[in-house]
Amino acid sequence: MSTTLATASASSPAEPFNAITARAVRKVYATPSGAVEAVAEASFSIARGDFVSILGPSGCGKSTLMLMVAGLEPATSGAITLDGLPVNGPRTSAGMMFQDPTLLPWRSVLENVLFPVSMCRPVMPDDRARAEQLLRMVDLWHFRERRPRELSGGMRQRVALARALINDPRILLMDEPFSALDAITRDEMGLALARIWDTTRKTAIFITHSIREAIFLSDRILVMGRRPSTIVEDIRVPFARPRAPEIEADPAFNELYLHLKASIHRAPPLQ
Ligand X SMILES: Nc1ncnc2c1ncn2[C@@H]1O[C@H](COP(=O)(O)OP(=O)(O)OP(=O)(O)O)[C@@H](O)[C@H]1O
Q: Which residues of the shown chain bind ligand X in the complex (CB under 6 A)?
A: 29, 31, 36, 38, 56, 58-64
Distance of alpha carbon 113 from alpha carbon 156, whole angstroms:
11
Work out how close the CB of 60 gets to ligand X at its nearest, in angstroms, rounded to a whole number. Answer: 4
Choose between 61 and 71: whose C-beta lies nearer to ligand X.
61
Q: Is the sign of the CA dihedral 80, 83, 84, 89 positive or negative? A: negative
Choose between 56 and 148: whose C-beta lies nearer to ligand X.
56
Work out how close the CB of 99 gets to ligand X at its nearest, in angstroms, rounded to a whole number. Answer: 8
Choose between 135 and 267: whose C-beta lies nearer to ligand X.
267
DSSP E strand stretches across 5-139: 18-31, 34-47, 51-55, 77-82, 85-86, 94-97
Work out how close the CB of 66 gets to ligand X at its nearest, in angstroms, rounded to a whole number. Answer: 8
By C-alpha distance, which of 211, 205, 210, 203 is closest to 180?
Answer: 210
Work out how close the CB of 222 gets to ligand X at its nearest, in angstroms, rounded to a whole number. Answer: 12
Choose between 172 and 207: whose C-beta lies nearer to ligand X.
207
Choose between 167 and 179: whose C-beta lies nearer to ligand X.
179
Residue 247's Cβ-side half-sphere holds a number of Cα atoms within 13 Å equal to 22
Work out how close the CB of 37 gets to ligand X at its nearest, in angstroms, rounded to a whole number. Answer: 8
Q: 117, 127 in Cβ contact below 8 A?
A: yes
Q: 112, 159 in Cβ contact below 8 A?
A: yes
